[in-house]
Amino acid sequence: MEKKFLEKKENLDIYEIHYNSEEVNKAERELINYVNTKYNIPGFRRGKTPVRIIKNFLGDNYKPMLEEEITKDLSDEFKDEKVILPPTISDIKWENDELIVSVQLHRQPEIELKDYIGLKLKTISTADSVEKFIENRIKELRDQNALLEPKEGPAEVGDMVKLIYSIEKDGKLISENKEQEISITDDEFRPIAKNAIGKKANEEFDFEREFSDSKNKYRYFGKIQEVLKKTIPELNDEFVKTVEPELNTLEELNTKIREEGIKQIEEWKESILRNQVNAKLPELIDLKISPETMDMYLATAINNMKKDKVYEQYLQQADGDFEKLSKELRESIINEIKSSRFIEEVSKKENLEVTDEEIMEMAEPLSKNWGVSVDRAKKMIEAKEEIKDELKGSLINKKVLELIIEKAEIEETSSQDKKSVETADKDGETKEENVKTKEEPDTKKGEDKEENKKD
């Protein structure tokens, strides 16, 4: 066998492997022997079938089986090569009694880091947001402790309705007889709440929803079970003692809520800053990757979808258009590769490391998720290298994001300008993909999170 390098195309190295006639004959003998001992060929005892008869028996399958036998150890020739995908055969041809195979090696793409210092990010002002948090929290407490009385008239703003409904998507029932309580607010935007306004108990509703990013139609239909009038309690010291027995005055309640608000808002600010950085990572790196490598990644992604039996679902979300789905997958794959390489290269450049102690500190939060003791979680981490590697990768990712945020130019906006922060955070709520996440998979749980969002 002779291996010859032909050319380099971005991250793709192309080799040509020549198998001489002696190697071909050896592989043929091994194939014939295998078929002779494993197959029952009519008219012949197993192991006694002539070569000519075996070739006739295999027919058109003979040549591909012989090629597979010849190249079965091909990957061993490249076992010491650093590749991101297994070697792939791109072409096979015969010249006389010799086999010539073209092989593609997919190496790590070359990258060029862009300047990640001084990244422009947005967040909200803690001071402004805390005041809004206090206002909303007190409003929520009053609403939760409201007096509810059955109402004979139609539902209106300020009331609560109990309803039961089902959902169809493009004529197919995806959720049935879901019960829910909804408070109707003065800034109501939810279609299901809007369609309850003006209706009395036992009256039915039926409406459709569409989303700007899809042609799918959702039909909601059901009936109002009960309309309840809400009487909001007066905000005073007596109310405080009712909702927080350990407190005595409204001032004390405001202080407690303020402390909670500061903590939650700081956590939220950290989260949206990380989300903004994550969204910008693909823009901070140039990557030279071959179309052939992208084709391999795409094929793998589609095969995995089919294996997990979700391919048809994703294809439907792409309006049944395979080209549209392929384009979306390619964009997702390249962004994932760019983000991963960026994290890897920046961690090396900035000498960011993760210690064993840092990994073990993850045992406490993980123990709650795993439902085991902290000691047991530590033993599980120590016993499995794949868990260690995953935690190490997660911590490196966190350190890189923290470094970029630390060196970023962060603009604080007022709570009134919150929408601009949400836009920068790319946290849209109007796309169908978000509604699907909240409506369809949760139908087994009997919860419609999109409609519950403001309750």
Contact 195, 209 (CB under 8 A): no
Residues 356, 433, single domain; the answer is no
Residues 404, 373, single domain; the answer is yes
Residues 297, 336, single domain; the answer is yes
Question: Quick check: is 188 in a domain?
Answer: yes
Question: Quick check: is 364 in a domain?
Answer: yes
Domain count, the chain: 3
Residues 451, 399, single domain; the answer is no
Residues 299, 385, single domain; the answer is yes
Question: Quick check: is 217 in a domain?
Answer: yes
**pLDDT in the model for residue 43:** 86
Single-letter amino acid, residue 304: N
**pLDDT in the model for residue 450:** 39
3-state helix, strand, coil in the chain (%, to 5): 50, 20, 25
CATH number for the domain that contains residue 36: 3.30.70.1050
Handedness of CA 111, 403, 428, 167 (dihedral sign): positive
Contact 12, 103 (CB under 8 A): no
Question: Quick check: is 31 in a domain?
Answer: yes
List all residues 6 or more positions away from 313 whose beta carbon is below 8 Å from its beta carbon: none
Contact 276, 425 (CB under 8 A): yes
Question: Quick check: is 326 in a domain?
Answer: yes
Residues 224, 206, single domain; the answer is yes
Residues 267, 297, single domain; the answer is yes
Q: Please give the chain's pLDDT, 455 residues, in tens.
A: 899 999 999 999 999 999 999 999 999 999 999 999 888 888 888 888 899 999 999 999 999 999 999 999 988 889 889 999 999 999 999 998 999 999 999 999 999 999 999 999 999 888 888 999 999 999 999 999 999 999 999 999 999 999 999 999 878 899 999 999 999 988 778 899 999 999 999 999 999 988 766 677 899 999 999 999 999 999 999 999 999 999 999 999 999 999 999 999 999 999 999 999 999 999 999 999 999 999 999 999 999 999 999 999 899 888 889 999 999 999 999 999 999 999 999 999 999 999 999 999 999 999 999 999 999 999 999 999 999 999 999 999 999 999 999 999 999 887 555 555 554 554 433 344 433 323 332 323 333 333 333 33
Structure tokens at 378: 């530590």
Reference 212, options 372, 431, 56, 409; nearest CA is 431
Chain centroid to CA 236: how far? Answer: 46
CATH number for the domain that contains residue 201: 3.10.50.30
Residues 189, 86, single domain; the answer is no
**pLDDT in the model for residue 103:** 96
Question: Quick check: is 223 in a domain?
Answer: yes
Residues 335, 398, single domain; the answer is yes
Question: Quick check: is 242 in a domain?
Answer: no
Domain extent for 39: 2-108
List all residues 6 or more positions away from 271 whose beta carbon is below 8 Å from its beta carbon: none
CATH number for the domain that contains residue 386: 1.10.3120.10
Contact 119, 408 (CB under 8 A): yes
Q: Crossing angle, helix 385-406 and helix 250-280, to 10 degrees?
A: 100
Contact 285, 113 (CB under 8 A): yes
Predicted TM-score (pTM) of this structure: 0.71
Residues 184, 294, single domain; the answer is no
Question: Quick check: is 214 in a domain?
Answer: yes
Structure tokens at 140: 């929520």
Cβ-count burial of 299 within 10 angstroms (0-12 exposed, 13-18 middle, 19+ buried)? exposed
Residues 279, 172, single domain; the answer is no
Residues 373, 418, single domain; the answer is yes
